[in-house]
């Protein structure tokens, strides 16, 4: 029995599966990541723009960046990795998909048991009244957008220096703790606290499987590390 066949056996017999996805799976759909050259915009780094301080200083500049990102994401399509995870959800008794991505590609692939620990770029939140709304337009005619109450809206994402949504994070920890199999897909395992879910799942007794073309800080502790892109490996895992 090959290692891949053994992993397929774990996945097939698991009653509870949790998955953590990162920017890598979206990069396979053509969405640039923060950590490559394509993630730069007008010579700004994400760390310069995705902060409450940057938004308070120049909301129009921050929104110009998010407008650019939304226009890129709108052209992207879920890949075979996204669809494989949606298929896996349908055949697993207890399934939770935890994503660090804000692009909505998992939703478009059909995932429903989805926890977005870093928020959703298609959600807007008023900085005055706090009301949230969904807006799927690739770009806005006027920046920054405003709420009906007159307040400036911000992207409904978690910025550097902000806490993760407490309820979503609590559910993520519960899913990692209860998993028989924990898949780590396309994440650098550098961003905490999300990367800590890998350690939590391992400590709770899950079989931890990493899917990533490159080695990461958690590669040495997982039960199996599949050196392949998500769009290639995940359809084979769930077949």
More confident of the two residues 188 and 164:
164
DSSP states of 20-43 = EE-HHHHHTTTPPPTTSGGG-BTT
Classified as helix, coil or strand, 120 is: strand
Beta strand segments in 81-206, E: 94-99, 114-116, 119-126, 132-134, 153-157, 181-185
Q: What is the pLDDT of residues 15-32, one digit of tens each?
A: 999 999 999 999 999 998
Quote the CA–CA distance of 97 and 92 in Å, as a whole number. 12
pLDDT score, position 36: 56
Q: Domains of the chain by range and CATH?
A: 1-30+78-118+163-239 (3.40.50.1220), 32-75+120-157 (3.30.1600.10)
Q: How far apart are CA 42 and CA 55, in angstroms?
A: 16
The answer to whether 198 touches 222, Cβ cutoff 8 Å, is yes
**DSSP secondary structure letter of residue 213:** S
The predicted-structure confidence for 110-123, as pLDDT tens digits, reads as follows 999 999 999 999 99
Residue 238 pLDDT level (bands cut at 50, 70, 90): confident
How far is residue 205 from each of residues 17, 130, 169, 178, 208, measured CA to CA in Å? 12, 40, 20, 9, 9
Of residues 113, 118, 134, 199, which has the active-site annotation? 118
Q: Which among 176, 191, 132 has a CA at the least distance from the CA of 157? A: 132
What percent of the chain stands above pLDDT 90? 86
Q: What is the mean pLDDT of residues 34-61?
A: 79
Catalytic residue status for 118: yes
Contact 218, 191 (CB under 8 A): no
Q: Note the pLDDT tens digit of each residue in 132-174.
A: 999 999 999 999 999 999 999 999 999 999 999 999 999 999 9
């Amino acid at each position: 029995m090959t290692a891949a066949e053994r992993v397929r056996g774990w996945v097939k017999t698991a009653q509870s599966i949790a998955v953590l996805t990162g920017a890598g799976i979206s990069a396979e759909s053509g969405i640039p990541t923060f950590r490559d050259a394509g993630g730069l915009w007008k010579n700004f780094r994400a760390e310069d723009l995705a902060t409450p301080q940057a938004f308070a200083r120049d909301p129009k500049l921050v929104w110009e960046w998010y407008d650019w990102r939304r226009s890129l994401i709108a052209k992207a399509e879920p890949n075979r990795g996204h669809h494989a995870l949606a298929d896996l959800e349908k055949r697993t008794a207890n399934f939770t998909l935890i994503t660090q991505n804000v692009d909505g590609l998992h939703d478009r692939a059909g995932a429903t048991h989805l926890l977005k620990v870093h928020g959703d770029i298609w959600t807007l939140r008023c900085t005055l009244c706090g009301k949230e709304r969904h807006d799927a337009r690739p770009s806005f005619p006027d920046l920054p957008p405003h709420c009906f109450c007159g307040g400036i809206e911000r992207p409904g994402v978690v910025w550097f220096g902000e806490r993760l949504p407490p309820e979503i994070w609590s559910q993520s920890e519960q899913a990692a703790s209860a998993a028989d199999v924990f898949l780590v897909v396309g994440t650098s395992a550098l961003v905490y606290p999300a990367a800590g879910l890998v350690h939590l799942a391992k400590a709770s007794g899950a079989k931890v499987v990493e899917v990533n073309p490159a080695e990461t800080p958690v590669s040495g502790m997982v039960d199996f590390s599949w050196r392949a892109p998500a769009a290639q490996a995940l359809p084979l895992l769930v077949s």
